[in-house]
Amino acid sequence: MLLIVVGLFFTGVPLFMDKVHSKSDLVEISATLRNCSFDEHRGPRYHTYLYYLYLNNYPNTFQISADFVPYFDKDYFEKTVQSGDTLHVFISRHDYAAIDYQEKVKLFGIYKDNTTYYLNCDQVIQKYNDGLQLYGGLIFIFVGLLLFYFNKDKLKISNYIL
In the predicted model, what is the mean pLDDT of residues 2-30? 66
pLDDT, tens digit (0-9, with 9 covering 90-100), for 116-144:
899 998 998 888 876 555 565 566 566 66
Residue 76: alpha-carbon gap to chain centroid: 22
pLDDT, tens digit (0-9, with 9 covering 90-100), for 52-70:
999 999 999 999 998 899 9
Q: How many Å is the Cα radius of gyration of the chain?
A: 21
Q: How far apart, in whole angstroms, are the C-alpha atoms of residue 38 and residue 116?
A: 20
pLDDT above 90: percentage of residues in the chain: 43
Give the count of beta carbons closer than 10 Å to the beta carbon of residue 132: 12
| pTM (predicted TM-score) | 0.72
| CATH 2.40.50 domain position(s) in the chain | 22-128
In the predicted model, what is the mean pLDDT of residues 36-64? 91
Q: How far apart, in whole angstroms, are the C-alpha atoms of residue 88 and residue 97?
A: 17
In the predicted model, what is the mean pLDDT of residues 93-104? 88
Residue 126: per-residue pLDDT = 87
Q: In the CATH hierarchy, which fold is given to the domain comprising 22-128?
A: OB fold (Dihydrolipoamide Acetyltransferase, E2P) (2.40.50)
In the predicted model, what is the mean pLDDT of residues 75-98? 93
Task: Tell me if 89 sits within 8 A of 28, measured CB to CB.
Answer: yes
87: phi then psi, degrees, rounded to nearest 5: -120, 155
Of 26, 23, 27, 31, the C-alpha closest to 87 is 31
Residue 88: per-residue pLDDT = 95
Q: How far apart, in whole angstroms, are the C-alpha atoms of residue 64 and residue 126?
A: 15
Of 82, 38, 81, 78, the C-alpha closest to 61 is 38
Q: How far apart, in whole angstroms, are the C-alpha atoms of residue 5 and residue 159?
A: 21
